[in-house]
Amino acid sequence: MARRTKDQAEKTRSAILDAAEREFYGHGVARTSLEEIAHAAGVTRGAVYWHFKDKIELCEAMMQRVFLPQEDILKRLAARQGSTPLADLQKACGDALRLIVRDRHRWHVLAILTHRCEYVEDMAVIMARRRQCKEHMLSQSRTLFERAKKLRQLAAGWSPRTAALGLQAMMSGLIVGAMEGRKNFRLDKEGVACIDAFFRSLRC
């Protein structure tokens, strides 16, 4: 019985997150109320508050479903001490762009964060979480570039820091460009090609 109750609670939580994602994507974060999310999820407003303290906590949980898996991948790569850090990081970045195209949840959340979230007042907490995520991923990629330099695989003229900053700027720019609906541009094709070209410039 306890297991069944736990499973039901998790299903309700997922339904609320899915509904929040749809509503935020369709109407924006500021214009969407918790009551509207509850209605879209087919639950009571009380059920929403049982799982999430407020809209900020709901937004954070929605972000974590997307960003935490990618953060974990970089963390594992940075800790692995492998002999091909550039190739490993290049593959991780290419896979991430392909996943955004394939995964509806990931695409929607990124679109919400880049174009449908007004970062004012309480929403500043979400901006802080985004910065924290970006800083963490920057640190992990820099660790991989430092290993590449130690292995004499990083081209002259690139420091681990500039390589990490350049990669982050390119990834962010490609994703924002895709979210804006740029014509004749796909993350899983032209986006991946840009990443591949960037990494060619990094190699000795």
55-202 topology per CATH: Tetracycline Repressor; domain 2 (1.10.357)
pLDDT of residue 196: 97
Residue ranges of the domains in the chain? 1-52, 55-202
Q: Are 183 and 132 in contact (CB under 8 A)?
A: no
**In 3D, which of 47, 7, 39, 8 has the Cα closest to residue 22?**
39
- In sequence order, the β-bridge partners of residue 203 are 154
1-52 and 55-202, same CATH topology: no
pLDDT of residue 2: 52
pLDDT of residue 81: 83
pLDDT of residue 3: 59
pLDDT tens for the chain, 204 residues: list them.
455 577 888 899 999 999 999 999 999 888 899 999 999 999 999 999 999 999 889 988 988 887 766 777 888 888 888 899 999 999 999 999 999 999 888 899 888 888 887 766 677 777 787 788 889 889 999 999 999 999 999 999 999 999 999 999 999 999 998 988 778 889 999 999 999 999 999 998
Q: What span, in angstroms and rounded, lies between the C-alpha atoms of 135 and 160?
A: 15
The architecture that CATH gives domain 1-52 is Orthogonal Bundle (1.10)
DSSP result, 111-177: HHHHHS---SGGGHHHHHHHHHHHHHHHHHHHHHHHHHHHTT-BPTT--HHHHHHHHHHHHHHHHHH
pLDDT of residue 119: 67
pLDDT of residue 48: 95
